[in-house]
């Protein structure tokens, strides 16, 4: 593509040839699907791709070529936050460039100055107003599914007007949000959208991800999450949160066994206070064998009820609380976790901070049924509140947020703290020279 630019008279001279050599050297490291996007002449490109497909490497190569082919150009990489931009691309971006073309690297503000006067700089989208007013030649918006609509429509799009600048918009599906709307523009045959082009790539289209890793991910994720994260499928977030749950598959006679460990997932909502009692089985399954549901209650009463039920097996009891329970209560010097310890429940396992809701939900859904159909979570038929919570906890329509107005989420939250802690989602291993 850069050689074509030379033939069109857009670049001339030996310095331009050096720039082309460097950029082409980078582009040759792209796998075929990445290069398809890289070489496409459309002004606005939208890439919807699965995790670890190589979106970030494509971004670096595309920004590098823009800086090389147009001296004095301004090129930005934007992530949802400044910290994410630094974590995702900064080191890899610096390592991908030819040192002979670089005048100076400014780590303090994530900026690279080229000898031809061009600049590549990393930015965060968490403050859209800070992105206004600069004439951009190329801009890459990565993890776009987590950005506000105004980042593109009000902040970035106007910056491309005076320069005829180009945009590469990249993300992984997250319901049918604004990324989906821009993806549709790239699929349209409308005259008004002729500058747009979009692609949808599965993780498996990257040659750097072994098929065995994809199969492993299927076992570690529920089908809906797998389709969204690895097959780049747009999945609606309206409807049931714990969508794999089915009374026929998951509910039955799953009694308490005094010889097995007792896991108590604990949610600290005052009304109700909820405790989901689970037991890990020798075959790898987890059974919900009991539940505690106390209206207008407190932590002391929960401790008393757990002690009443399991006083003979107290040494086997492990508490998996909402990590926010470690905070000191207003008006008194102790936390909810302190109250558990004073009651004799010293085996408490939780993270330092509350895990993201999406991680907790996906961990539970994966246990309910993985993408390969494996079921490792069962519920005793007498645990009515747990069944009700798993069946009736809903998303707010059109959003990835749980609808808390229905007051159904507390028991499923409680069990989720234990499941996410003991069976966290795994990260996909990376092989070869690809980076995402």
Within this chain, do residues 372 and 299 fall inside the same structural domain, yes or no? yes
Share of the chain above pLDDT 90, in %: 60
Does some domain include residue 434? no
Residues 384-417: tens digit of each pLDDT: 999 999 988 988 876 778 888 888 999 999 999 9
Last residue of a domain, one of 151, 178, 208: 208
Question: Residue 378: phi, psi to the nearest 5?
Answer: -130, 155
Does some domain include residue 237? no
Within this chain, do residues 389 and 293 fall inside the same structural domain, yes or no? yes
pLDDT at 55 over 70: yes
> Quick one: 329 exposed, middle or buried, by C-beta within 10 A (0-12, 13-18, 19+)?
middle
Q: Average pLDDT for residues 342-369, to the nearest whole number? A: 92
Does some domain include residue 213? no
Within this chain, do residues 256 and 199 fall inside the same structural domain, yes or no? no
- Domain harbouring 123, CATH code: 3.40.50.300
pLDDT at 144 over 70: yes
Query: Comparing 302-316, 331-345, 377-391, which segment has the lowest mean pLDDT?
Result: 331-345
pLDDT band of 233, cuts 50, 70, 90: confident
Domain count, the chain: 2
Within this chain, do residues 255 and 375 fall inside the same structural domain, yes or no? yes
Within this chain, do residues 169 and 311 fall inside the same structural domain, yes or no? no
Does some domain include residue 120? yes
pLDDT at 16 over 90: no
Within this chain, do residues 83 and 130 fall inside the same structural domain, yes or no? yes
pLDDT at 19 over 70: no
Q: Average pLDDT for residues 363-390, to the nearest whole number? A: 94
Does some domain include residue 223? no
Within this chain, do residues 112 and 165 fall inside the same structural domain, yes or no? yes
Does some domain include residue 432? no
Pairing of strands 74-79, 196-201: unpaired
Does some domain include residue 224? no
Measuring CA to CA, how many Å separate 16 from each of 56, 116, 402?
A: 25, 9, 53
Residues 73-110: tens digit of each pLDDT: 999 999 999 999 999 999 989 988 889 999 999 999 99
Of the two residues 16 and 365, the one the predictor is more confident about is 365
Does some domain include residue 242? no
Within this chain, do residues 170 and 294 fall inside the same structural domain, yes or no? no
- Averaged pLDDT of the chain: 86
Q: Which long-range contacts (CB under 8 A, 24 or more apart) does 260-263 make?
A: 260/316, 261/316, 261/318, 262/310, 262/313, 262/316, 262/317, 262/318, 263/318, 263/320, 263/418, 263/422
The predicted structure's pLDDT at residue 7? 34
Q: Which long-range contacts (CB under 8 A, 24 or more apart) does 324-332 make?
A: 324/268, 324/354, 325/266, 325/268, 325/299, 325/350, 326/350
Within this chain, do residues 32 and 107 fall inside the same structural domain, yes or no? yes
Last residue of a domain, one of 180, 208, 236: 208
Q: Identify which of 320, 267, 291, 278 has the alpha carbon closest to the alpha carbon of residue 388.
A: 291
Angle at 257 between CA 255 and CA 260, to 5 degrees: 135
Within this chain, do residues 171 and 264 fall inside the same structural domain, yes or no? no
Query: What letter does residue 315 receive in the DSSP assignment?
Result: G
Query: Comparing 57-66, 202-211, 394-403, which segment has the lowest mean pLDDT?
Result: 394-403
Of the two residues 327 and 209, the one the predictor is more confident about is 209
Q: What residue numbers bound the domain in which 313 lies?
A: 247-422
Within this chain, do residues 188 and 289 fall inside the same structural domain, yes or no? no
Dump the DSSP string for 376-423: -EEEETT-HHHHHHHHH-BBPTTSSSB-GGG---HHHHHHHHHHHHHS
pLDDT band of 331, cuts 50, 70, 90: low
- Domain harbouring 278, CATH code: 3.30.420.280
């Amino acid at each position: 593509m850069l050689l074509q630019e030379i033939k069109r008279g857009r670049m001339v001279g030996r310095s331009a040839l050096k720039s082309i050599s460097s950029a082409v050297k980078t582009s040759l490291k792209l796998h075929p699907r990445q290069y398809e996007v890289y070489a496409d002449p459309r002004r606005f490109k939208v890439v919807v791709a699965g995790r670890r497909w190589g979106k970030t490497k494509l971004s670096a190569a595309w920004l590098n070529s823009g800086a090389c082919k147009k001296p004095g150009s301004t090129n930005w990489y934007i992530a949802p936050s400044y910290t994410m931009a630094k974590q995702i691309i900064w080191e890899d971006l610096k390592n991908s460039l030819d040192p002979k073309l670089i005048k100076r690297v400014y780590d303090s503000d994530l900026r690279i100055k080229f000898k031809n006067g061009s600049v590549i700089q990393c930015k965060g989208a968490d403050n859209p107003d800070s992105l206004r007013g600069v004439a951009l030649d190329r801009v890459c918006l990565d993890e776009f599914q987590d950005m506000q609509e105004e980042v593109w429509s009000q902040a970035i799009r106007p910056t491309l007007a005076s320069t005829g600048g180009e945009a590469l918009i990249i993300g992984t599906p997250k319901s049918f949000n604004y990324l989906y709307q821009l993806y549709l523009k790239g699929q349209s045959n409308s005259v008004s959208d002729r500058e747009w082009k979009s692609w949808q790539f599965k993780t498996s289209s990257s040659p750097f991800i072994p098929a065995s890793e994809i199969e492993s991910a299927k076992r570690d994720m529920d089908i809906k999450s797998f389709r969204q994260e690895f097959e780049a499928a747009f999945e609606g977030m309206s409807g049931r949160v714990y969508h794999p749950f089915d009374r026929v598959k998951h509910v039955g006679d799953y009694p308490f066994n005094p010889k097995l460990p007792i896991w108590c997932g604990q949610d600290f909502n005052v009304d109700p206070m909820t405790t989901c009692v689970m037991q890990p089985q020798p075959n790898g399954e987890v059974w919900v064998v009991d539940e505690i549901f106390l209206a207008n209650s407190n932590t002391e009463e929960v401790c008393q009820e757990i002690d009443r039920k399991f006083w003979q097996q107290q040494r086997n009891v492990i508490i998996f609380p909402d990590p926010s329970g470690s905070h000191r209560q207003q008006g008194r010097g102790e936390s909810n976790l302190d109250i558990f310890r004073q009651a004799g429940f010293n085996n408490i396992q939780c993270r330092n901070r509350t895990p993201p809701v999406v991680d907790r939900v996906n961990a539970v859904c994966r246990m309910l049924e993985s993408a390969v159909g494996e079921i490792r979570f069962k519920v005793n038929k007498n645990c009515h509140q747990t069944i009700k919570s798993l069946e009736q906890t809903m998303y707010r329509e059109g959003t990835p947020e749980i609808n808390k107005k229905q007051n159904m989420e507390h028991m499923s939250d409680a069990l989720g703290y234990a499941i996410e802690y003991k069976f966290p989602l795994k990260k996909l291993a990376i092989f070869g020279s690809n980076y995402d």
